[in-house]
Amino acid sequence: MSTATAKVARWPWWLQVALVFVAARLVSACIFMAAAVHQGVNPWFPPAPDYWNFITIWDGRWYQQAAEGGYPSELPVDQNGVVKENAWAFYALFPLLGRGLGAITGLGTLQALTAIAMVAGLGAALVIFKLFREVAGIRTAMWGVVFVSTFPVSPILQVPYAESLNLLLLSASLLLVVRRHYLAAIPVVLLMCLSRPTGVPFAAMLGLLLLWRLWQRFGSRASSPLRDGRTTSARGLVALGALVLAAGIGALAWPAIAWAVTGDPTAYTRTETAWRGHDLVPFKPWFDTGRMLFGPVLGVLAPFVFVGLFVLVMMSGPVRALGTELRLWCACYMGYLLVFLHPQTSTFRMLLPLFPLALGAAMLSRSKAYRGTVVVMFLLLQIVWVVWLWAWAQLPGGGDYPP
């Protein structure tokens, strides 16, 4: 270990994590700026915009609209009665915070949203390190944070999107659940449910966790201490049950709010599917996309192959070492994507909540060559993601692939 490295290793953990995250965001900023130089004609601003304009495009403008104009009381529809794209697809916590910060500081809405996203991203990195330390040593947990901070879609953590705020609340919720502070987790989980649509899989994860704890306490012959030496008390089961109930309510809160404001019980789902161009049918979009990419035969098999590969990952030694709660979360979130997601280019961004798998990747090998290669690969893929998906270039049929 070099003298400089040894000196950094003696710094407080939070300073080391902050250094990792800020360094990663500076690299991503350089990628954004390089791509902005080559940005041509687009719907938002003149060609070759500066960095601050370039990072505020796509959904950032929808969050700005939600913050400044609120949400429509009537769903906008076309001449055929089909709901058009509108702000109800974007959960309220992030734009509300942006409006509040703008009112306090005088910042423009997009600038306030960007500031919140950056601070929340740093907070998420700090909480993720503490979460990873629950199941791993300091060095491995730090490498897990490095992987999360440099992940190919990690530039999203410094733009006015709600991903960084959701990542902060999600990681904090998982940390409290892992530590079994179930009642303390309730307000955090409720806020998370109002930041992005992660409430349904989180409630499912908690429900399965409750069933598992009940079986361990009452149904298992070897019911005594768990692997970590702790048993689940009756009070703990009640607290976990309360958290399950709160998460279920939180998961339904935003669709219920959309219903209450618009009078349409399907306002949220109709808005979400406006970007798809067709109604929500569970699982079907995966097979449609499979056939489009791989043909009529392989396309039908592709989703099953994908699920099989994910199961193998979840059964691997490094991922099993993550513990019950983190593995359950990853399984439930992936199940949620399989049921409801329309796979397309935004899918890459939607994989970010699977961040616990970054720790599994760090556990796979302690080799510096392996870990360094992963980081280099992630940084190269950041270039691909920004140039291919963030930068706007009109397709032959109009529009562009969303990031």
Q: What are the tens digits of pLDDT across the range 196-230?
A: 999 999 999 999 999 999 998 887 655 444 445 46
Indicate the range of 35-39, 45-49, 269-273, 274-278 predicted with least confidence: 274-278
How far apart CA 150 and CA 154 sit, in angstroms, is 6
* Residues contacting residue 22 through CB under 8 Å, at least 6 positions apart: 122
- Dihedral of CA 37/46/69/65: which sign? negative
- pLDDT at residue number 226: 44
Pick 81 or 338 by higher pLDDT: 338
How far apart CA 332 and CA 336 sit, in angstroms, is 6
* Residues contacting residue 145 through CB under 8 Å, at least 6 positions apart: 17, 20, 21, 125, 128, 129, 132, 358
- pLDDT at residue number 220: 62
Averaged pLDDT of the chain: 94
- pLDDT at residue number 227: 46
- pLDDT at residue number 1: 58
Per-residue pLDDT of 174-192, as tens digits, reads 999 999 999 999 999 999 9
DSSP 3-state percent helix, strand, coil across the chain (nearest 5): 70, 0, 30
Q: Tell me the three state secondary structure of residue 48.
A: coil
Indicate the range of 27-36, 44-53, 217-226 predicted with least confidence: 217-226
- pLDDT at residue number 124: 98
Q: Note the pTM of the prediction, 2 decimals.
A: 0.95
Structure tokens at 298: 């392989």
- pLDDT at residue number 225: 46
- Dihedral of CA 36/38/43/45: which sign? positive
How far apart CA 360 and CA 370 sit, in angstroms, is 13
Per-residue pLDDT of 120-134, as tens digits, reads 999 999 999 999 999
Phi–psi pair at 78, nearest 5 degrees: -90, -175
Domain range annotation of the chain:
12-390
In this model, does residue 61 exceed pLDDT 80? yes
- pLDDT at residue number 8: 77
* Residues contacting residue 173 through CB under 8 Å, at least 6 positions apart: 185, 188, 189, 192, 202
| Type and span of the H or E element at 326 | helix 324-340
- pLDDT at residue number 398: 81
Q: Compute the average pLDDT of residues 43-63.
A: 95
- pLDDT at residue number 3: 74
Q: Compute the average pLDDT of residues 248-264.
A: 98
In this model, does residue 326 exceed pLDDT 60? yes
Q: Which residues pair with 77 in a beta bridge?
A: 83
Q: Compute the average pLDDT of residues 351-358.
A: 98
Indicate the range of 66-75, 244-253, 389-398 predicted with least confidence: 389-398
Structure tokens at 163: 């991903």
What percent of the chain has a predicted confidence (pLDDT) above 70?
Answer: 96
Answer for the pair 395, 42: CB distance below 8 angstroms, yes or no. no
How far apart CA 341 and CA 283 sit, in angstroms, is 8
